[in-house]
Amino acid sequence: MSAIPQSPEKEYEKNPDIKKDEIVKLQEWLIRQPHLPKLTELDLILFYYSCENSMELTKSVIDIHFTMRTHLDVFFSDMNPTSRKNIHTLETVLLTPLPEATKEGYKVLYGRLSDYEPANFILENACKLVVMITDLWQYEQGTFPGIVIMIDMEGISFGHLGRLNVMSIKRIMYYLQEAFPMRLKGFHFINTPSFMDKILTLIKPFMKKEFYNFLHLHPAPIDSVYKYLPKENFPKEAGGKWDSFDKIQGDTKTWLAKNRQFFIDREKLQVDEAKRAGKLKDANDVFGIEGSFKKLDID
């Protein structure tokens, strides 16, 4: 059984500033882009909304998004939630949507380590899990006013620092800033370790100035985070009144496994470079020798 998508009709009702004729224009544009995969009306609404209803920006983000999905295997391949690799990630990292939104109405994605052993942590697999969960979450619920990512760093040791691949950090930051089909409104690090400055040294060079302004650090005690999200909305072991870590982890595994077909189908949404107008792209064209993402040509 695959995911039940939010209906376009409900999205138009929820977002009266999104006009159906604008989405029809996107559908007509998509037909003229034979290299791009076929997208549903809901897909186009989600991209259009994430781009603040800008037609040209939406076209650019769609092209960049699916080009990344095609050429960046480390984040976008093997999305079967029941594969051995992904089960290992789900047992190493707890990642879940929280049940309550912030006071601004922003949805919250909460993540932390379940297994504190540095050797078991693989950044690229954790990033893939972020992609999988946000894909499914948005597909089922439709547009969000915004999303806030909260990373609880309890259990992160200096040994984890050596597990952070700079190129992977660069690429996931590019995805979040340039190709993520959601309105990212905040990035919170909770229970930050004493060496957080070293982690920021790795991340900051790849952040746009406006993105860096979304960044919030909350060393223990983490009372400062509660002005964004009330304490009771966190999991029990994090001081809140929601479910336990074990139950959340089990529910997340079940939710993803139940939607296995969704991920199998989603993985097929790639560009067909042989049909791209103009110069074809490969991994080197996309990321360059140094891994920098090149600007894509949009008709």
d(Cα 142, Cα 134) in Å, to the nearest integer? 11
Tokens representing 65 are 């998004």
Greatest Cα-to-Cα distance within the chain, rounded to the nearest angstrom: 55
Category of 235 on φ-ψ map: left (φ > 0), alpha (ψ -120 to 50) or beta = beta
Nearest by Cα to 176 from 206, 221, 196:
206
Nearest by Cα to 252 from 137, 117, 116:
137
**Per-position b or e across 201-217, b if 16+ CB within 10 A of its CB:** eebeebbeeebeebebb
DSSP 263: H
What does the domain layout of the chain look like in residue ranges? 8-76+261-287, 92-258
pLDDT by residue for the chain (299 residues), tens digit each?
A: 567 889 999 999 999 999 999 999 999 999 999 999 999 999 999 999 999 999 999 999 999 999 999 999 999 999 999 999 999 999 999 999 999 999 899 999 999 999 999 999 999 999 999 999 999 999 999 999 999 999 999 999 999 999 999 999 999 999 999 999 999 999 999 999 999 999 999 999 999 888 888 999 999 999 999 999 999 999 999 999 999 999 999 999 999 999 999 999 999 999 999 999 876 565 555 555 444 444 444 44
Q: What architecture is domain 92-258?
A: 3-Layer(aba) Sandwich (3.40)
φ and ψ at residue 211, rounded to 5 degrees: -70, -40
Burial class (CB in 10 A: 0-12, 13-18, 19+), 228: middle
